[in-house]
Amino acid sequence: MPAKLRTRRELNCGQYVLPLGERTLVMGILNVTPDSFSDGGRFVNVEAALAQARAMVEAGADLIDIGGESTRPGSEPVDEAMELDRVLPVIRILSQELSVPLSIDTYKASVAERAILEGAHIINDVWGAKRDQRMAEVAARLDVPIILMHNREDTDYHDFFPNYIKDLRESVQIAMQAGVKQERIILDPGIGFVRTVEQNLETMRRLDDLVGLGYPVLLATSRKRMIGHVLDLPVDERVEGTAATVALGAAKGCHMVRVHDVKEMKRVTKMMDAMIKGGI
């Protein structure tokens, strides 16, 4: 078994500690938005959000990712006040009712800071600390883990994969220069963002190169367009395609997967971990 799949460490998240490398962790997606591509409008009130979060934890989610602004192509941006109105009530109740870490899915530093102060434990930034210059400073000052997703404004790659890795290294540099500790950094390949389908597939094939950078990797492929394109299926019929990407991610050494279908993907990761890492 490759050494990278044997490496074990811990991610400290406030009162919680997540074991990295011991098994593939499952992050459950909780969108409290009216327009997310897969589950928009389903969990916009606190009661529905709490019920869904509880169901995901019971199904095996190791952490819950809460988002108040859709990042799907063509979605309408929301201002800080509206985003806070959506996420803070949910974070408050989940931090009291659940016993797993919470991440806040936002690219706004002010939203991230308020969310952490209200009970979230991890920042998940789809712009890799490049959109809001204060994001890395907030993560450093509050001493919380930050997920840096690959993203960029320009879709014209001169040489795709080297440019892609360079972009991710830039996000890491921004975070570390702001004072984020190296052990607090997690990378997200950014599947489905600013890439063609073939570039997304190449990224999947080369996930081990990303793992080889030495940072924990979160793979977020759940129900995405790449799967729909390959299988020619709508969003609500992409569970099997998602399972294939999750299995490949586990085989390539990814530490976490971000998914809608927690029960099914927990089974996939458990089986993959048993085959790859041993133990049941």
Catalytic residues: 224, 258
| Cα–Cα dist 162/187, whole Å | 16
| Cα–Cα dist 192/186, whole Å | 18
Long-range contacts, 272-278 (Cβ 8 Å, 24+): 272/24, 272/246, 272/247, 273/23, 273/24, 276/1, 276/5, 276/250, 276/251, 277/1, 277/5, 277/6, 277/22, 277/23
Are the C-beta atoms of residues 52 and 30 closer than 8 Å to each other? yes
DSSP sequence for 56-80: HHHTT-SEEEEESS--STTPPP--H
- Residue 103 DSSP SS3: strand
Tokens read off for 187: 């990378």
Are the C-beta atoms of residues 184 and 223 closer than 8 Å to each other? no
Question: 10 Å Cβ neighbour count for 220?
Answer: 26
Phi and psi at residue 269, in whole multiples of 5°?
Answer: -65, -40
Query: What's 186's DSSP letter?
Result: E
